[in-house]
Each structure stands twice: as C-alpha cells, then as structure tokens.
Amino acid sequence: MVKACPGPFQASVAQSARPRWPLIATALLLAATIYGFSGRLLPWNVSASAPFSFPDAWVDKDTKMCPQAKPLAPQRNSVLWENITALHSSDTFLKRAIAQLSNAVQIPTETFDSMGPVGEDARWESRGPFVDHLEKAFPLVHSTLKLERVNTYGLLYIWEGSVSSLKPLLLMGHYDVVPVAASSVDQWTHPPYSGHYDGENIWGRGSSDDKSGVIGMMTAIEVLLEHNFTPTRTVILSFGFDEELADQRYGARHLASTLLERLGPDSIAMIVDEGSGYSENYGAIFAVPGIAEKGSANVEVEVKTPGGHSSVPPKHTSIGILAAIIVHLELNAPKPELAVDTPLFEMAQCFAAHGPGMPRDVKRSIRRAARRGSAKHLKKAAEYLLQDTMLKALVGTTLAVDIVNGGVKSNALPEQAMVGITASMNIRPHYSQTVVNHLNATLSRDSSLVMDLAEKYNLSVTAYGEPLTPADTPTYGSVLIHAPIHLEPAPISPIDANPFQILAGSIRTARQTGSTKDDVYVAPGMMTGNTDTKYYWPLSKHIFRYGHRNMIGRGMGGIHTVNEHVPAASFVEIITYLTVLILNVDETTL
C-alpha cells in the first residue's frame, strides 16, 4: 500500500508550526501545471512528438506591437456619409465612375526623360486636352473651387473652408504617365489608351498610376458638392504633370514653391499623395501608408580611353573596362540591415502582431528585438524577413544599372563609354548625422570601389568634381564619376499623432464600406521610389503616401509596364476612401 503524502490538514502540531507558504506555493504551481497542460492556462503546449512552441493565443493577439486606430466615420456629417455611401454602392455610380476614369485614360499625357522647359518642348502640350477635359467633366468643382494654373499645366484647386484659422488638408496626385513603348503595344490585352472596361477592370496607361487618384479626388469632391457640403477646413488639391520625370522640375517644384511662398513653412495640417494600397501579408490584409521615402542618386560613371582601329585592339577597351566596373559594383553592393526604430521595423511589428501566417519564432524574435534591443533576435528576424525581395530593397541601399552608352562603329575602338546607375539610399532615423551624411557616404563608397579597378587598368579618377589621382600620374585613360541628381531621405512622419490616426481610421472605414466589407490592418511603411512630395517637405510634418489601391492577388496592376489596369470596384472604393478622409479631417482640430 502506498502511503499518502500528508497535506496541510494532516500535518502534526509540530509541522503546523512551520511556515505554510512553501506548501501553498507548491500546491498552486502543481495545480497551474495540471491546468495548463489542458491548454487553458499556460501559454505553451507540450507533447512527446511536438517541440516547444508558442500558440497564436499568446503571440498573435499582441496589439501592443502595433495598436490599431478604430474605424473612423464622420459624426457631424453622418447623414451625408450614409447618403454618399449608398450612392457609391449603386450601379449608376459604378457606371459613372468607370466613364470618368476611362475618358481620362484615353488622353495620352506621356512624360519623357529628355523633355525641355514648358513652352519650348512641344511634348508638354499633350497636357492641354486633359486639363480641358477636367473642366468639362467636373462642372461643380470648377464653378466652386478656385483653380490656379502653375507653370501652365500644374493645377492648384482651393476649396475654401469656413474657418480660416484651421490649417488646410492637401491632397496630391499627378496626371502624367510613363510612355508606352511602341514595341510593347501588341502585348497589351487591350490598347494602352483605350480606357477599355471589360466588365471588371478598366485598362490603360494611367488607369492606376495616377489618374485613378486624380479622377478619384475630383469625383469625390464633385459628389460632395452635389450634396451641398461646405468644408470647415480648407482643402487644397495639387496636381503635377511631370512626376514621371526624374527631378519633377517643371511641375511639382513650381507647385510646392507657390504654396510655400503663399502659406509659409509648416502651414499644412496633413499631406496625402499617391502611394501604395492594401494587400495580403502573412494571412491578413494590411494597408501600408508611406511615412518616409528613401533617398536616391543618379550616378554616372564614364570611362575614356584612346581610340583606334579595332583590328589592333588593346587588352581592354573602354567598354570592357566599364563592364568590369559594373560587375565590381554589383558584386560589392551594400548588405541590407534591418534596424529597430525604423518605419520598416514598425511595419514588421504589425505583420507579427496581426498576421497569423508569420512563423511564431519570428514573431517572438521581432517582439524581443523591439522590447529588449536583442541583436540576436533582430538578426534572426532579419534573416526571415529579408527573404522578401521588396522588403529587402526597402531596407537596404540598392544599385541598378539602367543605361549604358558607348561606341559609334563596329570597326572603331570606343573612345568613351558611360553607364547610368540609380542608387537608392537607406534611411536611419534617430541618427541625424548619419541621415545627413548617408548619401555622401554611399557615393564615396562607390568611388572607392571604382578606384580599385582604376589602379588595375591605369586610369585616373575624378569623382564628383574632385580629382582622386595625382595630376602628375601617367595614365592610360580616365574615369569620371558624378551624380547630377541626388536626394536625401525624407523626414519621417510621426505615427503617434492625430493625422496618421485619422488616416488609418479612414482607411479601415473605407475598406469596411467597400464591396467586400473586409477589415484591414494599417501598418506604417515607406516607398521604394520618391513621389512629388519631395518638394513639399517644408509645408508639413505629416506627409503620407497612400493611394488605397487594392493589390490583393494582383500586385502593382501593371504600373509602368504592359497591361496597366484597375478593378472598377477598387476605383469606387478609392473614391469612398477619399470622401471619408475629407470628411474626417474636416471634423477634427488637428
């Protein structure tokens, strides 16, 4: 017979004199363990066949890593909001929206890299018919809002609010498009400027980037005016016409300087430009407004060597040397590094908090890297996250060779060869000195790599106007490096302030109001490229790049390539999003 263990009530008088807390603690621990093994208390499961793991109930519900703004719908204008959303859900409005975007797509407004000043280069005149079309298509907008044309084709619409002391809301977009290569026309499912609607999608160049944004804003305001809405806060629309040009020198630059001169620094409550949309990540739907942008530089490397007849070639021609330099730069590209306290790590935290498909150990690493500053867990999280090529490109400094020129004839040695390299810079917030100097550091690094090969091939090097080779050094040829266009990383817009919360709440409401009525999580992110906002930085501390595109299962929808298109239902949802954003911002003090 097994003798029973004496419990607290079986103890002798001598035993009862001892402290009872160890026994009580042991009993509680034993009970908790038994209860926990049933899967109801302790945050782990143990079995002979399964390794130790954390269940979703303990990890995925961790909203502290990514708290979500509640869906935000207009209160003062609740009846108006109900009426407009009812209109947006009708077949009549769907047909109206389709016609508006289709007609806009049918007007080509292509931007080419080599375009000269407005008034001198006739190719800018393609914008005229589009501007005329807007005036006819949106009569209430043009009879109510003040329109100012900046540098001929830049459009500033001012919708005066009833309270002048409130900082305005600025909505931005651009109506120019990238050219359609003649060789690609036959690859389009429908002609690139047909604006064809196939019963589901609207096809054509600009249907997504960014005429859907421009026409969406105009339609949203036209409908608000039809319902006799008058804003409390001034709303400004700024439409550029050269966003697809590398430095936007004729459109966005003039528009931004006009606003800055008139209103002054930090005069805009909130700026929202084109940008990403929402897509599925790790089993959940996330909208990712850009709160920052990478810096960028267009670097040109030019090699010059003696010419001659190709029948007596040197060991390496200028093209051969240039090819070696390109390979050397690509093989020694900077390694991406994920850093805590950056927009991309904050985005990863949101994926971990709300994405059930992310592996549990990765979620744990992200949490511990955030809370404890663990380098070990940050590295583990990065190893997993940076398998995504898009995220990898956002995190790191990238280099892409885009343009190569050299040689004039098949039997003549090339005296000159040039390559154009686009390098986009990483951002490192909270280290202001690093942010300021990161562009220069990256350019200096490339110069150092070129020097390695220049010495091998006996070439002099001049980088960014500074000779790196002594003047009296005899050389076979020369290398010239310069960066005619460069831009520092954008300031980071705060996500713990009202503007971001209003944007996030509006996004969630628009998604729940749309045809699918699904929920969406909002995560801060950043753009791979730069938008027109790069000239608007002094105007506001709250700049967001977000276009509310439905990217679920369709990626970028053919932006900058063949078969650009947008689902008609998604375009209506864009209009709904812009409407609720305008109304929500109008009801706040910001």
311 burial type by CB count under 10 A (0-12 exposed, 13-18 middle, 19+ buried): exposed
Q: Is 266 annotated as a binding residue?
A: no
DSSP per-residue string spanning 85-102:
HHHHTSHHHHHHHHHHHH
Integer angstrom CA distances of residue 233 from 423, 559, 586: 40, 33, 5
DSSP per-residue string spanning 478-547:
EEEEEEEEEEPPPPPPPSSSHHHHHHHHHHHHHHHHSSS----EE--EEESS--GGGGTGGG-S-EEEEE
Specify the amino acid at residue 35: Y
Compute the distance between CA of residue 231 and CA of residue 157 in angstroms, rounded to an integer.
14
Catalytic residue (choose from 60, 210, 242, 243): 243
Residue 402 annotated among the catalytic residues of the structure: no
Compute the distance between CA of residue 344 and CA of residue 148 in angstroms, rounded to an integer.
38
Residue 11 neighbours by CB under 8 Å, 6+ apart: none
Q: Which of 548, 528, 54, 70 is nearest to 285 (CA)?
A: 548
Q: Within 138-210, where are the H helices?
A: 139-144
Q: Is 88 annotated as a binding residue?
A: no
Structure tokens at 295: 């810096």
Specify the amino acid at residue 192: P
Element (H, E) at 402: strand 398-406
Compute the distance between CA of residue 109 and CA of residue 104 in angstroms, rounded to an integer.
10
- Coil, helix or strand at residue 125: helix
Per 3-state DSSP, the chain is made up of helix, strand and coil in percentages (nearest 5) of 40, 20, 40
DSSP state of 197: B
Residue 248 neighbours by CB under 8 Å, 6+ apart: 240, 242, 532, 534, 535
Integer angstrom CA distances of residue 292 from 278, 295, 424, 526: 17, 10, 13, 5
Residue 243 annotated among the catalytic residues of the structure: yes
Matching residue, tokens 């045809």: 515
Q: Is 560 annotated as a binding residue?
A: yes
Residue 100 neighbours by CB under 8 Å, 6+ apart: 137, 215, 218, 219
- Coil, helix or strand at residue 112: coil
For residues 232-266, one letter each, b for 16 or more C-beta atoms within 10 angstroms of the residue's C-beta and e for the rest, the string is: ebbbbbbbbbbbbbebbbbbbbbbbebbbeebeee
Catalytic residue (choose from 60, 176, 302, 532): 176
Q: Which of 376, 377, 421 is nearest to 397 (CA)?
A: 421
Q: Is 472 annotated as a binding residue?
A: no
Compute the distance between CA of residue 244 and CA of residue 174 in angstroms, rounded to an integer.
9
Q: Is 62 annotated as a binding residue?
A: no
Would you list which residues are annotated within the binding site?
A: 174, 209, 244, 273, 560
Q: Hey, which residues are catalytic here? A: 176, 243
Residue numbers in the known binding site for Zn(2+) are 174, 209, 244, 273, 560
